[in-house]
């Protein structure tokens, strides 16, 4: 999921920085319009830590393995805070563990952060069935987690498949990109379930955390 340095052409990296810059600006603007913008920072900070750690949790999907992303969960619980949270998490992953890269930070942030904001809107749709409904929270939590990651996987697939350098064995690379993308399908379901469980847990113990 994290595209490292040296894979994408420089134009795509620059476009990624431009997009993530614009979305960061918009998210921060939305955050500053809130009545008490600082109140959600502890929640955002802890979920950033969870996002940072999640990429260490590998799930074997033979013949490869995938790792948790949790961008849908961050979106559902954090709303607009999710984008800066993901940006910061990705920055530390890239600097500390070379997971992802600094040149592709913008691309990766856009790839995971924009679907996270989308997940936020999906999760908000639970108002249709009523916020108190546990079924609504469960179903829309699942959709937020699954769609958030699903769209990120699709963006990643689109970016990789269209930028394979001509000097490589394009067929082999394309086949392995397809294989990796398909390996994320079980993860999409898993993260949907996980997001639903976290949302239901928060609704029971501290419902004000889901008030956004």
Interacting residue ranges for another protein, rule: CB under 8 A: 3-7, 38, 41-43, 45-46, 48-49, 52-53, 56, 58, 64-65, 92, 96-99, 156, 159-160, 167-169, 172-173, 176-177, 179-180
Report the candidate in 113, 123, 111 with the shortest Cα–Cα distance to residue 12.
111
CB of 53 to another protein, least distance (A): 7
Pick 42 or 186: Cβ nearer another protein: 42
SS3 for 3?
coil
CB of 97 to another protein, least distance (A): 7
In sequence order, which residues have a C-beta less than 8 Å from that of residue 10 and are 6 or more positions away? 103
Pick 18 or 168: Cβ nearer another protein: 168
Any idea which residue has 């997009």 for tokens? Answer: 19
CB of 201 to another protein, least distance (A): 18
CB of 177 to another protein, least distance (A): 5
Return the beta strands (E) in the chain as ranges: 58-61, 64-67
Angle 71-176-162 from CA coordinates, rounded to 5° = 75
């Amino acid at each position: 999921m994290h595209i490292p340095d040296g894979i994408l052409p420089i134009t795509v990296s620059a476009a990624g920085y431009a997009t993530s810059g614009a979305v960061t600006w918009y998210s921060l603007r939305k955050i500053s319009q809130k009545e008490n913008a600082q109140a959600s920072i502890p929640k955002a900070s802890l979920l950033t830590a969870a996002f940072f750690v999640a990429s260490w949790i590998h799930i074997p999907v033979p013949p490869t393995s995938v790792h948790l992303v949790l961008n849908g969960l961050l979106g559902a619980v954090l709303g607009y805070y999710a984008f800066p949270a993901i940006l910061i998490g990705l920055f530390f992953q890239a600097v500390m563990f070379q997971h992802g890269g600094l040149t592709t930070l913008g691309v990766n942030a856009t790839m995971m952060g924009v679907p996270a904001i989308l997940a936020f809107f999906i999760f908000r749709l639970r108002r249709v069935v009523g916020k108190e409904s546990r079924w609504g929270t469960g179903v829309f939590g699942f959709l937020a987690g699954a769609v958030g990651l699903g769209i990120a996987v699709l963006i990643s697939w689109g970016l990789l498949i269209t930028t394979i350098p001509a000097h490589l064995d394009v067929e082999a690379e394309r086949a392995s990109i397809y294989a990796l993308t398909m390996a994320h399908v079980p993860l999409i379901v898993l993260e949907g379930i996980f997001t639903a469980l976290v949302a239901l847990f928060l609704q029971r113990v501290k419902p004000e955390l889901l008030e956004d």
